[in-house]
Amino acid sequence: MSAVPPATRAEQQAALDAAYAVCRGIAAEHGKSYFLATRLLTPDRRPAVHALYAAARVADDIVDVGADQPGRDPEGELLAWSKAALEELEAGWSDDPVRLALVHTYRRYDIAREHLVDFLAAMTSDLDVTGYADLAALDRYMWGSASVIGLQVLPVLGTAPGVAREEAAPHAIALGEAFQLTNFLRDVGEDVDRGRVYLPADLMAAHGVTREQLESKRFDDRFRQLMREMVEVVRRRYDDAAPGTPMLAPESRDCVRAATELYGGILGAIERADYRVLDRRVSVSRPRRLAVFARRLTAAQLARVSVTIAQPKSRSSTGA
256 occurs within a structural domain: yes
CA distance 26 to 70: 24
- 248 phi/psi in degrees, rounded to 5: -80, 165
320 occurs within a structural domain: no
List, in order, residues 6 or more apart from 203 with CB less than 8 Å away: 134, 135, 226, 229, 230
**Please, what is the Cα angle at 166 between 184 and 92, to 5 degrees?**
80
Whether residue 316 is predicted with pLDDT greater than 70 in this model: the reply is: no
Summarised one tens digit per residue, pLDDT across range 201-248 is 999 999 999 999 999 999 999 999 999 999 999 999 999 999 999 999
CATH of the domain at 202: 1.10.600.10
187 occurs within a structural domain: yes
Q: Distance from CA of residue 234 to its chain's centroid?
A: 16
Is the CB of residue 180 less than 8 Å from the CB of residue 142? yes
SS3 312: coil
106 occurs within a structural domain: yes
184 occurs within a structural domain: yes
285 occurs within a structural domain: yes
318 occurs within a structural domain: no
Predicted structure pTM score: 0.90
Domain containing 236 equals 9-310
Q: What is the mean pLDDT of residues 113-122?
A: 98
Q: What is the pLDDT of residue 145?
A: 96
- 73 phi/psi in degrees, rounded to 5: -120, 80
The total of structural domains in the chain comes to 1
Residue 40: what residue type? Answer: L
319 occurs within a structural domain: no
Summarised one tens digit per residue, pLDDT across range 14-51 is 999 999 999 999 999 998 888 999 999 999 999 999 99
